[in-house]
Amino acid sequence: MNSEEIRERFIKFFEAKGHVRLPSAPLVLKDDPSVLFTSAGMQPLVPYFNGVKQPPAKRLVTIQKVFRATDIEEVGKDGYHQTFFEMLGNFGIGDYWKKEAIDWGWELLTKQFGFDPATLVATVYFDDDEAFDIWTKELALLPNDRMFRLGNLALGDDTNFWSPGPIGLCGPCSEVFVDRGPQPGVAPHRCDPSENCGRYLEIWNFVFQQYDRKADGSLTPLKMKNIDTGVGLERLAQVLQGVAGDAYRTDLFQPLMKKIESLSGKKYGQAKDVDLSMRIVAEHSRAATFFIADGIAPSNEWRGYVLRRLIRRAALHGRTSA
């Protein structure tokens, strides 16, 4: 299934569930100067979630382009870190809640995308009995031994408690992972999805927005509960195209990788140092292109500096791979 088919299948599935499709917002949100870039699918919808603006519908679905500067130095070290990616998301604004979000997500994964239910596991926030029971009892989608309770804010562990920043809309979440089995070089143990053991690949996150986090860290319950989900297109494509763990072998990156191979005379997959440079050139070039398309120009400050940093890093590794 190519990336375009994945996008359309996702959109049409949720349109059939009563969701209205919205176009992607720019990478720079003009009405939200508090963030450098759009870093999550829900950010353009915040005015709808907090009641500042009237949404076009209570159920929305988007394919949002996002950028996360925190991962710049990680790009190239492996096959799955990217700064720029597309986030597929369905959203319920004061409408449906945990049961519908989980049920629809499972239906899409197993019946539309063809995931084997036996290969999937899920996580919930440590005290979210409601979500745990939906998975294991109400819908009976997964047995208890394929469910993991993770995180505890009181202990400083924010696993399975999602927030786009230190303040604002937030809530517990439930994530779905592909279980790829024990990995070579990792000592046998009961590895859970919070570990970096290579066994689990996250494919979907269901965020149950029910709090507003204040500057002092306190959580105020929202008057209107919202559903905010996110599926990374690049991550989903890896699994559906049989190249799990290496986004650069998907159709999203292959045209770029082939061009880099042609220009450099090198082949991807033959040398670790060359592979690292090829990944950096491909990923940063793609991200820089979307920056420029959204009106960002290279400069010595603010957003333009991030773009300049991407271009310089890609240029450096372009010389290395050549």
Q: What was the pLDDT predicted at 196?
A: 77
Contact in structure between 128 and 102 (CB atoms under 8 Å): no
Q: What was the pLDDT predicted at 188?
A: 67
Contact in structure between 207 and 229 (CB atoms under 8 Å): yes
Contact in structure between 42 and 228 (CB atoms under 8 Å): yes
Q: What was the pLDDT predicted at 239?
A: 93
41 backbone dihedrals φ, ψ, rounded to 5°:
-65, -25
Domain with CATH 3.30.930.10 in the chain: 3-240
- Nearest CA to 83 out of 307, 321, 316, 268 is that of 307
- Do the strands 147-150 and 120-125 form a parallel or antiparallel pair, or are they unpaired? parallel
Give the C-alpha separation, 187 to 148, whole Å: 20
- Could you identify the residue written with the tokens 């090198």? 266
Q: What was the pLDDT predicted at 322?
A: 59
Structure pTM? Answer: 0.93
Q: What was the pLDDT predicted at 321?
A: 60
Give the C-alpha separation, 247 to 279, whole Å: 9
Q: Where are the alpha helices (DSSP H) in the chain?
A: 3-16, 46-49, 98-107, 129-133, 233-240, 254-264, 272-293, 302-321
Contact in structure between 267 and 122 (CB atoms under 8 Å): no
Residues of the chain with confidence (pLDDT) below 50: none
Contact in structure between 135 and 142 (CB atoms under 8 Å): yes
CATH classification number, 3-240, choose in 3.40.50.2300, 3.40.50.20, 3.40.50.300, 3.30.930.10: 3.30.930.10
Q: What was the pLDDT predicted at 192?
A: 86
Checking phi first, is residue 52 left (phi over 0); if not, alpha (psi -120 to 50) or beta?
alpha
Q: What was the pLDDT predicted at 30?
A: 82
Give the C-alpha separation, 205 to 59, whole Å: 17
Q: What was the pLDDT predicted at 117?
A: 96
